[in-house]
Chain A
Amino acid sequence: MSDNNFEPTIIGFTCNWCSYRAADMAGTARMKYAPNVRLIRLMCSGRLDPTFVFKAFANGADAVLISGCHPGDCHYVDQNYKALRRFHLMKRVLSQMGIEPERIKLLWASAAEGAIFASEVSKFVDQVRELGPLNWNKQNGGIAAAEPAKEEVAA
């Protein structure tokens, strides 16, 4: 893969109630956006264990998108605030590990904001394309090194 036509792979986490539905809405409205993001549905952005983000990077993702309900709109009262706190923490930890903090993005999207979801995903993909590939799995001696417990999977 050469850098000038680099297409990033991004893992996205959405909550079940707002942001996953925003993605549904973007689909129903046939809004086109960059195909680089693969979504994982959680019940709430508060479920996002930072391990998930590190795991995604370790397995070769170039960036991670975290998406939830707008502050104040959380289906579970205020758990998206917990996601917000963890997001800032993860950013710091990632930069300490030498990963550009621009490789993670937090996006609030309500169920009605399909258009915002689509355009923000495309923008994020452009931003990550600028940063170039992360290759964290290779730099650190492959996934096996990052995660000794799962050697079979990597092999």
Chain B
Amino acid sequence: MTKNNEEPRIGVYVCHCGTNIAGVVDVENVATWAKEKLGTQGVVVSRDYKFMCSSLGQELIEKDIKEHNLNRIVVAACSPHLHEKTFRTATSNGGLNPFMCEMVSIREQVSWVHTDKVIATEKAKSMISGGVARIVHHEPLQPMSVPIHPATLVVGGGISGIQAALEIADAGYPVHLVEREPSIGGHMAQFDKTFPTLDCSACILTPKMVEAGNHPNINLYTWSEVEKVDGYVGNFVATIRKKARKIVEADCTGCGICQEKCPKKVIDDVFEAGLGYRKAVYTPFPQAVPNYPVIDVENCTYFEKGTCKVCEKFCPTNAIDFEQEDELISIEIGNIILATGYDLFDARKVSNYGYGRLANVFTSLEFERLTNASGPTGGEIVLRDGKTVPKSVGVIHCVGSRDKNYNEYCSSICCMQSLKFAHLVHERSGAEVYNFYIDIRTPGKGYDEFYLRLVEEGTNFIRGKVAEVSDTARNSEEEGKLIVQVEDTLVGKQRRIPVDMIVLSAALEPRADAKEVGKLFGISCSANGWLIERHPKLDPVATMTEGIYIAGCAQGPKDIPSSVAQGAAAAARVIGKIQKKEIELEPIRASVIEEKCSGCRICNNLCPFNAILFHEDRMVSEINPALCQGCGTCVAACPAGAIIGTGFSNEQVLSQIEGLLMLNIEAAATD
């Protein structure tokens, strides 16, 4: 009997999920069994159906609720994380409170992980028995409605983040765009040409950067990082650390005189990938947005030695402020988009390819800078000496990708990028190009056509994983060259190919601090370290945490079109949320029954959200439902049993334990 003395009338629905469940679990048998054996518990209807989540499956539930006067629904199908919403909606369409529905995961926890059909079927029965025992104690719950703050935080100012920020800002809502580097633009700002159309990266990116920089709805925080995030969907509070630029932004005009006059040259290993220099006061590149420079405190002569201040002397607007401190800014937002991008694989790890040891082995990012018209060589493809034009270039694909020793995944962009490199070498220097590949992967619009074009241009394609790049010559032809040792698998023999320059198409890797970022925002990383989406196919930009979205390479390696698409998709999701103005939260909350509370205050210190307050006058604790997140720790700790956790009450869990073990008890009885 349930709490309000209502006789439970339960409907059990066993899903075949095509053959996903029915291939291992005898679903008809389970459904018949539930009707027969669980009838005493209140099961009135029990059915199996091909696809419960289909509209016909849902209608089945709705119809049964009305015809059989059901008041509780148990669906044995996939994980509740996939379809709980679906079946709660069906339950609600049938006229019941949506929380009178319980899902039992017999796909993820039974049919997909077990092979013995008899055992799997028995386990499915036990689990349904647990679900039925549990649902008897379900109570109607009312979702809590909370307002959605209209502002959005976008973390990462690469192309994906810029796209997301612009879409939301254009829709009329405020955006806070936070970027760690002094300028937005991300990796795309470092490239010269983009595949397969070969349009100039800067020409298509900089207008977007400027737009983001000038947009009345976008607050740009560059040289800044998010330090803390509190709250929940609709009502997050983020703390941004705006690192001291040592430049007063309000006064700086971006004239660039300080950079000109600064006497300190520093190797730029971020934007120029170590190939060029910048000053100690700098903007990473001329088109930087915003255009205010940053003083690099670690390398500035004044901060090192206490004298210099040349920049201050020459600044026409007195915008230099050596005393400037980091600023902590607290912002309120409703949603968050993480577009934190990728790091390039450290090619030094593949020591047999000689990067870092052999001067003329370059990484893909270095090569991008070499080909860039505004790069350190003005777009000249030259060797490390800065003047010799290579007569032959080898491009090695899959460095650190598709390799058991480093990353097993395909970095997805390297084939196209390597083809682009080959084209640029042809175009700029006419040198001989060899592309060493395992497979050519060109599955994008116009991508394979680009490959065919390269074949016609005369690039030498050699299929085989390069064993070694060395400078040990065996004959006069190899003298002074880099020799690529490779098995040409199409010809079936070992080859030694001497070239002047090697470019390593290095893997895209998750940011080194992706795990910490995940932790900060309360989302998870995959085993490889990429941020995890809610569903790999059907929900690629949402995450398991409501109100947090991901876009671009933070989610996995991808090219510019896909990064832009994800940025826009995440923005669309956020705009939808904002326009609804309110969001319904799971009503899973704890509450204190005052009459039972002894005022011991054990629960008070357990709550990490400070949701429990103590009334000194009445000597009882009370839980603030707006602050309570529903973890249930206080429920478990209360010695008087005075705290109730909705959705996961003691009755519900204890009954589920009984239900799960019911078959065992029966078996023991017949022993």
Give the residues from 1 to 36 in chain A that come closer than 8 angstroms, CB to CB, to chain B. Answer: 1, 9, 11, 17-18, 20-21, 23-24, 26-28, 30-33, 35
Q: Please measure, in the bound complex, the distance between the C-alpha atom of A26 and the C-alpha atom of B110, giving whole angstroms.
A: 11
Select B522's contact among A44, A49, A75, A118, beta carbons within 8 Å.
A75
Q: Which of B519, B636, B657 contacts A46 (CB 8 A)?
A: B636
CA distance A47 to B656 in the complex (A): 15
Cβ-defined partner of B527 (8 Å) among A50, A75, A112, A153: A112
C-alpha gap A151/B606 in the complex (Å) = 34
Q: Indicate the size class of the contact surface on chain A.
A: 35 or more
User: Is the pair B113, A79 in contact by a Cβ cutoff of 8 Å?
Assistant: no
Taking a contact as CB atoms closer than 8 A, the residue among B519, B632, B654, B664 that contacts A51 in the complex is B654
Any A CB within 8 A of the CB of B524: yes
For residue B532, which residues in chain A have a CB less than 8 angstroms away from its CB? 111-112
Q: A23-B109, A76-B629, A112-B526 are in contact. Are A43 and B588 (CB under 8 A)?
A: yes
A84 interfacial contact with B, CB 8 Å: no
Give Cα A133–Cα B665 distance, bound, in whole angstroms.
13
B183 to chain A, nearest CB (A): 33
Binds B, one of A52-60, A97-105, A123-131: A52-60
Contact flags A37-76 to B (C-beta < 8 A → 1, else 0): 0111111101111111001100111000000000011011
In the complex, how many angstroms separate the beta carbon of B611 from the nearest chain A beta carbon? 11
In the bound complex, residues from chain A placing their C-beta under 8 Å from that of B633 are 44, 46-47, 76, 79, 82
B654 touching A118, Cβ below 8 Å: no
Residues of B within 8 A of A46 (CB): 606, 631-633, 636
Q: Is there contact, CB below 8 Å, between B113 and A27?
A: yes
**Identity of the chain A residue whose Cβ is nearest the Cβ of B650 in the assembled complex:** A49
Contact yes or no, B665 A35, CB < 8 A? no
Q: For the complex formed, measure the closest distance between the CB of A125 and the CB atoms of chain B, giving whole angstroms.
A: 12
Contact B636 A59 (CB under 8 A): no
Q: Once the chains are docked, how many angstroms separate the CA of A112 from the CA of B536?
A: 13
Question: CB of B348 within 8 A of chain A?
Answer: no
Q: Does B120 contact A (CB under 8 A)?
A: yes
Which of B6-14, B122-130, B462-470 contacts the other chain?
B122-130
Q: Does B640 contact A (CB under 8 A)?
A: no
A137 near B653 with CB under 8 A, answer no
Please give, as numbers and ranges, the residues of chain A lying within 8 Å of B115 by CB-CB distance: 32
B664 contact from A9, A43, A47, Cβ within 8 A: A9
Residues 538-587 (chain B) with a chain A CB within 8 angstroms: 544-545
List which B85-140 residues lie within 8 A (CB) of chain A.
Answer: 105, 107-110, 112-116, 119-120, 123, 126-127, 130
Q: Which residue from B544, B630, B632 sits with its C-beta under 8 Å from A111?
A: B544
CA distance A90 to B415 in the complex (A): 56
Contacts of B524 in A (CB 8 A): 18, 21, 73, 110-112
Q: Are B665 and A32 in contact (CB under 8 A)?
A: no
B637 lies within 8 A of chain A by Cβ = yes
Of A49, A51, A77, A78, chain B has the most CB atoms within 10 Å of the CB of A49
A38 and B631 contact, CB distance less than 8 A: no
Residues of B within 8 A of A86 (CB): 636
- In chain B, what residue has the closest Cβ to A15? B631
How far, in whole Å, are A89 and B512 apart by their CA atoms in the complex? 38
Q: Is A120 an interface residue (CB 8 A)?
A: no
CB-defined contacts of A138 to chain B, threshold 8 Å: 668
Interface pair B668/A47, CB less than 8 Å apart: no
With an 8 A cutoff between CB atoms, is B54 at the interface?
no
B632 touches A39 (CB 8 A): no
A38 touches B123 (CB 8 A): yes
Minimum distance in angstroms from B94 CB to a CB of chain A: 24
> Are A61 and B80 within 8 A (Cβ)?
no
Enumerate chain A residues within 8 angstroms of B664, measured Cβ to Cβ: 9, 59-61
Q: What is the CA–CA distance of A49 and B606 in the complex, to the nearest angstrom?
A: 14
Chain B window 155-196, contacts with chain A (Cβ cutoff 8 Å), 1 for yes, 0 for no: 000000000000000000000000000000000000000000
A122 to B127, CA, bound (A): 19
What is the bound-complex CA distance between A56 and B653, given in angstroms? 10
Using known A-B contacts A24-B79, A40-B656, A42-B653, determine if residue A60 contacts B636 with beta carbons closer than 8 Å. Answer: no
CB-based closest 8 A-B pairs: A27-B108, A47-B632, A46-B633, A77-B608, A76-B631, A44-B631, A49-B636, A27-B112
Residues of B near any A CB (own CB < 8 A): 79-81, 105, 107-110, 112-116, 119-120, 123, 126-127, 130, 519, 522, 524-527, 532, 544-545, 588, 606, 608-609, 629-633, 635-637, 645, 647-648, 650, 653-654, 656-658, 660-661, 664-665, 667-668, 671
Contacts from A to B (Cβ < 8 Å): 1, 9, 11, 17-18, 20-21, 23-24, 26-28, 30-33, 35, 38-44, 46-52, 55-56, 59-61, 72-73, 75-79, 82, 86, 110-113, 115, 118, 135, 137-138, 143, 150, 153-154
Having A24-B108, A44-B631, A49-B635, one finds 7 other A-B pairs with CB under 8 Å, namely A28-B112, A42-B632, A46-B632, A48-B636, A52-B654, A59-B658, A60-B661
Contacts A/B (CB < 8 Å), 23 sampled: A1-B668, A20-B81, A24-B79, A27-B112, A31-B113, A32-B113, A35-B113, A38-B130, A39-B109, A43-B648, A44-B631, A46-B633, A48-B636, A49-B635, A52-B657, A59-B661, A75-B631, A76-B633, A77-B609, A79-B608, A110-B524, A115-B527, A137-B668
